[in-house]
């Protein structure tokens, strides 16, 4: 082999080695799994993980929504215990007895004997000469030991009024007297209202006396009473001398308004006039749905020209809440 051939081969091998080294370097730089440039990694490699990009919206919870709250039962309202009370209606004929003598003391004795809780009185005088110029409601209240209110209806300025009164074993909280339309009647009539406190239960009590001559006046009076009582939310009792029978139009108007007749539990006709031998029923005790009549009687009076009507009733007080 000549000197020139050996030099050529050495040069060729050197070139080949250089090419191989260059290829190896290229491969090392392109291999991601290759060794790092140094112990701490390359100079451009981050040392912390950057946060993910955010859209600015709060991620929605993937848990199911909580169950709706259990509805709370409304508070119970206890039903008040029923209350029994007795009611009496009595046309006292301004205290004139059968014998012509003043019978106010005897009427007070009769009322006391019957022991009513509520008394509805008609033909009660105040300062009239024919009845001794006394305040009959005040006298009867004092003699029976009952609270009293009075409603006079006379337009005669020369004498005191004649009207209705209410006596009550229960305190009387308020009272008012309303004149009824005359509507062809001869005398001014009224509706006396008292609110009484029956053991903490407010109750409305009404006493009235319809015209004795005019059917039209009685009809108009009944309609007026219904209108006045319709505006009253309290348990109600109304009674008095209505001067007409149970089948009359005025009574039908009162009954159609929702009032019951306490005589539904009575026996017989319930006749109250004339007092010595009664044949007509013209005195009534009516009530609304808060009352239930338990017993009803027509009583005998030794004084008046009317017989009084007495009833025992049960009041179911409205719930207080």
Calculate ∠ Cα 110-111-112, nearest 5°: 90
Nearest Cα to Cα of residue 174 among 190, 197, 191 = 197
Rg (CA), the chain: 51
Report how far apart, in Å, the C-alpha atoms of 309 and of each of 49, 118, 257 are: 102, 12, 22
pLDDT of residue 57: 47
Location of structure tokens 């490699």:
45
pLDDT of residue 39: 46
pLDDT of residue 77: 79
- Residue 19 burial (C-beta neighbours within 10 Å; 0-12, 13-18, 19+): exposed
Architecture of domain 83-315: 4-Layer Sandwich (3.60)
Calculate ∠ Cα 111-116-117, nearest 5°: 135
pLDDT of residue 25: 61
Cβ neighbours around 41 below 10 Å, total: 11
pLDDT of residue 227: 98
Q: What is the mean pLDDT of each run of 10 residues along the chain (321 residues)?
A: 61 66 59 48 52 50 65 75 97 86 90 97 94 95 98 76 97 98 93 97 98 97 98 97 98 98 98 96 98 98 95 92 74
pTM of the model: 0.76
């Amino acid at each position: 082999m000549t000197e020139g051939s050996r030099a050529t081969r050495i040069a060729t091998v050197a070139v080949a080695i250089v090419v191989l080294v260059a290829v190896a370097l290229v491969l090392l730089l392109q291999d991601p799994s290759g060794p790092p440039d140094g112990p701490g990694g390359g100079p451009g490699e981050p040392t912390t993980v950057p946060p993910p990009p955010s859209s600015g919206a709060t991620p929605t919870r993937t848990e199911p929504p909580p169950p709706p709250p259990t509805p709370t039962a409304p508070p119970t309202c206890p039903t008040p215990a029923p209350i029994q009370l007795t009611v009496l209606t009595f046309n006292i004929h301004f205290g004139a007895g059968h014998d012509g003598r003043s019978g106010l003391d005897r009427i007070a004795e009769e009322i006391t004997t019957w022991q009513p809780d509520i008394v509805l009185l008609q033909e009660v005088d105040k300062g009239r000469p024919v009845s001794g110029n006394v305040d009959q409601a005040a006298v009867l209240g004092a003699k029976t030991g009952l609270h009293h209110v009075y409603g006079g209806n006379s337009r005669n300025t020369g004498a005191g009024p004649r009207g209705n009164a209410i006596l009550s074993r229960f305190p009387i909280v308020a009272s008012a007297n309303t004149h009824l339309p005359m509507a062809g009647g001869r005398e001014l009539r009224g509706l006396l209202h008292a609110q009484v406190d029956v053991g903490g239960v407010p109750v409305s009590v009404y006493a009235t006396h319809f015209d004795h001559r005019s059917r039209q006046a009685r009809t108009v009076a009944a309609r007026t009473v219904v209108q006045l009582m319709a505006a009253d939310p309290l348990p109600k009792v109304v009674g008095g001398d209505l001067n007409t029978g149970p089948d009359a139009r005025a009574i039908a108007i009162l009954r159609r308004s929702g009032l019951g007749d306490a005589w539904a539990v009575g026996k017989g006709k319930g006749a109250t006039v004339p007092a010595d031998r009664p044949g007509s029923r013209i005195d009534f005790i009516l009530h609304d749905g808060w009352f239930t009549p338990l017993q009803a009687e027509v009583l005998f009076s030794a004084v008046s020209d009317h017989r009084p009507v007495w009833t025992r009733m049960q009041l179911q007080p409205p719930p207080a809440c």
